[in-house]
Chain A
Amino acid sequence: NAGVTQTPKFQVLKTGQSMTLQCAQDMNHEYMSWYRQDPGMGLRLIHYSVGAGITDQGEVPNGYNVSRSTTEDFPLRLLSAAPSQTSVYFCASSSQLAGDYNEQFFGPGTRLTVL
Chain B
Amino acid sequence: ILNVEQSPQSLHVQEGDSTNFTCSFPSSNFYALHWYRWETAKSPEALFVMTLNGDEKKKGRISATLNTKEGYSYLYIKGSQPEDSATYLCAFNSGYSTLTFGKGTMLLVSP
Contacts and interface: CB of A to CB of B under 8 A. Distances in A.
A25 interface: no
Contact of B93 (A44, A59, A101, A108): A101
B46 A101 contact: no
B43 A101 contact: no
Contacts of A101: 31-32, 34, 49, 51, 93
Contact of B97 (A44, A102, A106, A107): A102
A64 to B, nearest CB: 16
B103 A103 contact: no
A22 to B, nearest CB: 15
Contact of B1 (A40, A59, A107): A59
Interface residues of A, number: 24
B21 interface: no
A106 B43 contact: yes
Contacts of A109: 43
Contacts of B104: 42
Interface string A32-61: 010100001111110010100000001100
B44 interface: yes
A31 interface: yes
Contacts of B98: 33, 45, 48, 58, 102
A96 interface: yes
B32 A90 contact: no
A40 B103 contact: yes
A102 B93 contact: yes
Contacts of B103: 40-42
A92 to B, nearest CB: 8
Interface of B: 1, 31-32, 34, 42-46, 49, 51, 89, 91, 93, 97-104
Nearest 10 CB-CB pairings of A with B: A42-B103, A106-B43, A101-B32, A43-B101, A101-B49, A106-B44, A50-B97, A42-B101, A31-B97, A103-B46
